[in-house]
Amino acid sequence: MSDASNYPENAPRPDSARPDPPRYTPAEIEPRWQEKWAANPALYRAEPAGTAKPKYYVLEMLPYPSGQLHMGHVRNYSIGDALARYMWMQGYNVLHPMGWDAFGLPAENAALKNNTPPREWTLKNIVAMKRQMQRLGLAYDWANEVTTCLPDYYRWNQWFFLRMYERGLVYRKQSKVNWCNLCATVLANEQVVDGCCWRHEDTLVEQRNLEQWFYRITAYADELLEGLDKLEGWPEKVRTMQRNWIGRSEGTEVDFTLAGDASEKIRVFTTRVDTIFGATSVQLAPEHALVAKLSANNPALKAEVEGLLEQQKQAREAGDIGAIEKHGVPTGAFAVNPYSGEQVPIWVANYILADYGTGAIMSVPGHDERDFEFATKYGLEIRRVIAQADPAAEEPALPFCNEDGVLVNSGEFDGLSCTAAEKKLQEIAAAGSFGEAKVTFRLKDWGVSRQRYWGTPIPMINCPVDGLVPVPDEQLPVLLPEQIAITQQGGSPLSRVPEFLNTTCPRCGGAATRETDTMDTFVDSSWYFYRYTDAKNDKAPFDPAVAQYWFPIDQYIGGVEHAILHLIYSRFFTKMMRDLGLITNAEPATRLFTQGMVIKDGAKMSKSKGNVVSPDDMVTRYGADSTRMYALFAAPPDRDLDWQEDGVAGISRFLARVWRLVTRFAQVARTAEPGGTVGPVAEGLLRKLHQTIAKMTQDFGGRWHFNTSIAAIMELVNELTAAEASLGSGEVPASVVRELLTSLTLLLAPFAPFLSAELWAELGETSEILRAPWPVSNPELARENEIEIPVQVNGKLRSVVKVHAEADRATIEAAALADGKVQEWLGGKAPLKTIIVPGKLVNLVVK
């Protein structure tokens, strides 16, 4: 493991004539501790439930094992590791696990390219990345490592699938799906970004019709939405994104009937049923069932509808449906308004979506922006049916979309408020069986089928006699065959593996075939953090009692890019698992932290831009401690971080100063006798120390602005270095030197684990610093005696006076007025107004 020759900047110079003074050599220190820690994995192991310590579950999002950590990972894990180490030092029973999101397409692509089986490629990458993590000194409990591509994990994906199937939370249907040609598979709605594949930003997603498996996430739509209000430990941004994604909308469904055929109903969804007397047309999505009927004997109409559909499809694929130019065609048919009996024309329009609401709307141009635009374009009637509640007010121009008006031109409903009218119209519709109040969601069920090889096989069997038959639990796991030829052919690769495909029906024993699609890999990451609590369990996904102890996660840390994908699926799984009786918590994590991106030269690091900084390279040159600490120092963790290598060098210099300081006086500290006279220098240093402890403790508990925590340690070290002469001379008693140096080392421990472990031993400590108690700030020692108070004249800083920290107003005022510079600026005049903020400032106002 030791590779000192790779650290050129710190390597001893063989050509030196004089012996060099000892130096800080991470190249020597870090591998030594790595080996020590690797030999003692129990160090990072959580204690079982039942310990007297309070529990703390800190979790970082697990990586995809690409083979290389990137700086985003380093930042994410440095934050989590600092927190975990701090909580250990605060006496908590900490669970800090790590694992691998190991299924997924890159393994198949690599297999094609290098002729390496996906499993082999993936496991090799895991070994490499785990080594990188250990090199960084990340304190993970590897005893509960989770690797999602191994059967002992994915069998539980299958087990959950079967439990959900039993409860009607899994179903299969033919549906229009998002298809990425490069992935050669289906994508979930959440995986389509701007009309393109989330993995291939330049590849447009196509719409295809396929038979797919779905998870009924919509069964939890309301709970997923309501739960967000209680997730106060989650960033508001993430909660807003999820709210938008769920897209709950309260409204009314109403049946119009086809003029001339009252049995043909056209159900529309509207959030403004109060405006229904202003409906001057009904608009259908091009794929609406009635459109096919109306155009069956009308080739011209059919062709025009085809055109509209094509426009819609293109706009959707371009991800720019908002910019589509509205087009429509009249069908020639009419619909009957159930409230007024009025007949309005039925149109087909390209801006009506078949998969939202009922795929049909009533068009109210007077009170809806879009309908207004459309009606204006095609000369349809625009009618006012809502007026200002205040009769004296001037009537606003149409379209008037406020909901605080009253109904007009609406027959017997005239004069009702919008809200009252909505309620009444809903009641009438329900009583007449032609409509009802209805809640619609934007959230769709989660399509989990993937036509890929490297994923969890879906545990279903298709029997010519019995139809779809679930694989019985005792036959789990349905193993993924390992020796298969990866080709570029489309379709599910498993369908070309006869040993896998052909099986017997569990019900009738006859010949049958297996489902050959695999599961979306987001299934794997939806519940992995439960498995961490009991990763070796081969009877159940985990022991509910153990999960009960650890859950919910106290702090989850990861990138904001997972705000709606992983984080909504995880919440869904948690609710589903709760309903299975496995857990009692309704949400996976109490607190969520989303760290900013790591950028370089103002741009996201990417191979194509050639601005990628390799963590290994940084560690080789500056050491893991410097790399980690820079990741925390360069910016607050929630903001984007611009990686500047000079900054890493700066941290490295700082750590070298700490190393020199502590090693220089370690002997004094080690042999210190208690007591000694604390003079002004020692008092000053102790004050700074205890102020620093207070600040850091506050930072860990609250804002997590580790950049300022580290700056505070630097200030402390600056003061200690400036007082070096006093540390050695005995002016500062050895007992105080000891307190200063041990506390400094402890404060550094969450950020620079290698150096602090080294210095801890250097100071004669034999315990593990990870379990040493976090220092406690003594307010008596931290208090300032004398402070400087700025004095302003007319709001401008003119002088500074020194007063006792607790000086009262009168004392401060007297000191300010006695100051020579202040007197000059007052010019002999008495202040008209005197503002004194004790401990803060004085402002004297003169004319």
Partner RNA sequence: GCCCGGAUGGCGAAAUCGGCAGACGCAGCGGACUUAAAAUCCGCAGGCCGCAAGGCCGUGGGGGUUCAAGUCCCCCUCCGGGCACCA
Q: CB of residue 198 vs RNA: minimum separation in angstroms? A: 10
Scanning the structure block, which residue is given the tokens 């190991």? 102
649 is an interface residue for RNA by CB under 7 A: yes
Least distance from C-beta 297 to RNA, angstroms?
A: 26
Tell me, what DSSP letter sits at residue 109?
H
CA count, 13 A, side-chain hemisphere, 59 = 27
Contact 246, 446 (CB under 8 A): no
- 691 in contact with RNA (CB under 7 A): no
Dist CA 363 CA 337 (whole Å):
12
Give the x-and-dash track for 4-43 against RNA (CB under 7 A). -------------------x--------------------
- Kindly indicate which of the ranges 380-388, 412-420, 629-637, 760-768 contains the residues binding RNA, using the contact rule CB under 7 A: 629-637
Alpha-carbon distances of 165 from 156, 169, 194, 468, 470, rounded to whole Å: 14, 6, 32, 11, 8
Question: In sequence order, what are the residues at sequence separation of 6 or more whose Cβ sits closer than 8 angstroms to the Cβ of residue 801?
Answer: 788, 789, 791, 812, 815, 816, 818, 819, 842
Q: Judged by CB under 7 A, does residue 684 bind RNA?
A: no
Window of 132-140, 169-177, 538-546, 637-645 that interacts with RNA by CB under 7 A = 637-645
3-state secondary structure string across 183-222: CCEEECHHHEECCEECCCCCCECEEEEEEEEEECHHHHHH
Q: Please, what is the minimum distance in Å from the beta carbon of residue 132 to RNA? A: 24
Among 718, 767, 785, 829, binds RNA (CB under 7 A): 718
Residue 683 to residue 740: CA distance in whole angstroms? 11
What the block records as the tokens of 449 is 């089928």
CA distance 839 to 761: 42
Q: Does the footprint of RNA cover residue 841 (CB under 7 A)?
A: yes
Residue of 359, 435, 477, 775 that binds RNA (CB under 7 A): 359
Whole-angstrom distance, CA of residue 499 vs CA of residue 507: 20
Q: Which is nearer to RNA, 165 or 630 (CB)?
A: 630
Q: Which amino acid is at 72?
A: G
User: Site map for RNA, 526-555, x if CB under 7 A?
Assistant: ------------------------------
Minimum Å distance from CB 635 to RNA? 4
Q: Does 790 bind RNA (CB under 7 A)?
A: yes
Q: Which of 240, 677, 767, 785 binds RNA (CB under 7 A)?
A: 240
Hey, which residues between 51 and 90 contact RNA (CB under 7 A)?
none
SS (H, E, C) 210-258: EEEEEECHHHHHHHHHHHHHHCCECCHHHHHHHHHHHCCEEEEEEEEEE
Candidate segments 103-111, 239-247, 609-617, 747-755, binder of RNA by CB under 7 A: 239-247
Q: Is 714 in the site for RNA (CB under 7 A)?
A: yes
Site string for RNA, 810-839 (x = CB under 7 A): -----------------------x-x-x--
Joined together, the tokens standing for residue 376 give 């204006």
Residues of this chain, 249-308, that bind RNA according to CB under 7 A:
249, 251, 269-272, 285
Burial class (CB in 10 A: 0-12, 13-18, 19+), 374: buried
Closer of 202 and 538 to RNA (Cβ): 202
Contact between 800 and RNA per CB under 7 A: yes
Q: By CB under 7 A, is residue 794 in contact with RNA?
A: yes
When asked if residue 635 is in the footprint of RNA (CB under 7 A), the reply is yes
Residues 383-422, mask of contacts with RNA (x by CB under 7 A): ----------------------------------------
Q: Does 498 bind RNA (CB under 7 A)?
A: no
For the segment 425-444, give every residue that binds RNA (CB under 7 A): 440, 442
Smallest separation, CB 351 to RNA (Å): 3
If the CB atoms of residues 575 and 688 are measured against RNA, the closer one turns out to be 688
* Binding span for RNA by CB under 7 A among 158-166, 744-752, 774-782, 796-804: 796-804
In the complex, least distance from residue 271 CB atom to RNA, rounded to whole angstroms:
4
Alpha-carbon torsion 210, 214, 219, 224, what sign? negative
Q: Site residues for RNA, window 174-233 (CB under 7 A)?
A: 193
Least spacing, CB of residue 692 vs RNA, in Å: 11
Indicate the angle between helix axes 105-114 and 118-135, nearest 10 degrees.
110
Q: Quick check: 741 and 753 in contact, CB under 8 A? A: no
Q: Which is nearer to RNA, 364 or 577 (CB)?
A: 364
| Shortest Å distance, C-beta 793 to RNA | 9
Under 8 Å between Cβ of 242 and 563: yes
Provide, rounded to whole angstroms, the least separation between the CB of residue 420 and RNA.
18
Cis status, amide bond into 299, omega within 30 of 0: no
> Counting contacts by CB under 7 A, is residue 339 touching RNA?
no
**Closer CB to RNA, residue 62 or residue 801?**
801
Which member of 201, 229, 325, 499 binds RNA (CB under 7 A)? 325
Q: Contact region for RNA (CB under 7 A) — 501-509, 675-683, 693-701, 756-764?
A: 693-701
Q: Which three-class secondary structure state does DSSP give residue 650?
A: helix
Distance CA 634, CA 618 (A): 15
Interface with RNA includes 564 (CB under 7 A)?
A: yes
Nearest to RNA of 315, 476 (CB atom): 315
- One DSSP character per residue, 476-509 reads ---PPPSS----S-SS-GGGG-HHHHEEE-TTT-
Residue closer to RNA, measured from CB, 703 or 829: 703
Residue 340 phi/psi, 5-degree rounding, is: -105, -15
The overall longest dimension of the chain from CA atoms, in Å, is 109
The answer to whether residue 592 forms part of the interface with RNA (CB under 7 A) is no
Rounded least distance, CB 323 to RNA, Å? 7
Residue 846 interacting with RNA (CB under 7 A)? no
Q: Which CB atom, from 616 or from 638, has the smaller least distance to RNA?
A: 638
**Nearest to 493, CA basis, from 523, 446, 464, 450:** 450
Choices 215-223, 429-437, 503-511, 716-724 (CB under 7 A): range interacting with RNA? 716-724
> Which residue in 695, 697, 747, 760 binds RNA (CB under 7 A)?
695
- Span from 76-84, 179-187, 397-405, 694-702 in contact with RNA (CB under 7 A): 694-702
Rule CB under 7 A: say whether 326 interacts with RNA. yes
Alpha carbon distance 99, 59 (integer Å): 10
Is residue 353 at the binding interface for RNA, with CB under 7 A as the rule? yes
Q: What is the 3-state secondary structure (H, E, C) of 618-630?
A: HHHHHCHHHHHHH
User: β-strand 786-793 against 841-845: which pairing, if any?
Assistant: parallel
What are 504's strand-pairing partners? 511
Beta carbon of residue 649, minimum distance to RNA (angstroms, whole number): 6
Please give the backbone phi and psi of residue 210, each rounded to the nearest 5 degrees, phi first. Answer: -140, 160
User: What does the angle CA 370 – CA 375 – CA 377 come to, to the nearest 5 degrees?
Assistant: 100
711 is an interface residue for RNA by CB under 7 A: yes
